[in-house]
Amino acid sequence: MTNNYLLKTKDSHNIRITTFGNPTSDRCLIFVHGFKGFKDWGFFPYSGKYFADRGNFVITFNYSHNGVGESLTEFTELEKFGENTFSREVDELNQIIDVVHSGFFGNETFARLGIIGHSRGGADVLLTATNREEVDAIVTWASIAKLDRYSERQKIEWREKGVFNIENARTKQIMPLYIGLLNDIESNMNGSLNMQKAASQLNKPWLIAHGKQDLAVPIGEAEQLYEWSDKSKTEMFVLEATGHTFDIEHPFTKSNFKFDKLLEKTNLFLIKHLN
């Protein structure tokens, strides 16, 4: 069973949602996409169906400022993309968690809630879940450990121009990042966006999964997250000979042995901690 929803943010922007499975399930999973990601990218629909087939109600969504609008698969909202910040994403993920128990999806009694985040979405999950008692377990796939990923030279140019342009390797589009993102990171790095604090204070089960040959987010960042974590509640799972998207491309054509291993490990972890 697949359904689509439209949720308005607090400032009246659109969060587009697709759900998989039966909302009467006891277990709810939220999937969080990463930077230049979206709910219909590559492995997300496949993963949604996979976990729904195993008895979960699965929520996938697009952040309001991820750059993808009504087309669902194209970056047609580059101005919004440029205006996005980590704090906005954390706020919107909190809003998703809020509506999970509000009856928005037809069920106010989900007994257990898990969140899975990929790449930058993994950071959002960690920063959010640390402060939410409703979240019972989290999984991060290829998560970043540091939010400030820019050189001093890049930041000087960014402040001078008010925008830092990046190329989307897949679409070849030039995508803007406005100064608000840098200001958000620097203003909140010791507070609400402190990754070390969030990782060390997370008091719930956490699976850190990472590809050993990840060139976009090196394996060292997963090791850093694990070092900060409570080892009694955290598992580290390293997949050999695979990278940032576990050899899955967009558009999705088929799964592979390595990604299937990731799904199986994630499922076993969630069964253990959400049942």
Per-residue confidence (pLDDT) for residue 141, from 0 to 100: 99
CA-closest candidate to residue 124, choices 164, 165, 79, 87: 87
pLDDT of residue 110: 87
Q: What per-residue confidence (pLDDT) applies to 109?
A: 74
Number of residues that this document lists for the chain: 275
pLDDT score at 20: 98
* pLDDT mean for each 10 residues of the chain (275 residues): 96 98 94 98 98 97 98 97 98 96 83 97 98 97 98 97 96 97 98 98 98 98 98 98 98 97 98 95
pLDDT value for 6: 98
List, in order of start, the domains of the chain with CATH numbers: 2-150+191-274 (3.40.50.1820)
Cis peptide before 251 (omega within 30 of 0): yes
Whose structure tokens read 């402040």?
Answer: 159
Can you give the pLDDT at residue 78?
98
Dihedral (Cα; 104, 106, 111, 116), 10-degree rounding: -60
Sorted by sequence, the CB contacts under 8 Å of residue 250 that are 6+ apart come out as: 41, 42, 170
Q: Quote the pLDDT of residue 77.
A: 98
Write down the pTM of the prediction: 0.98
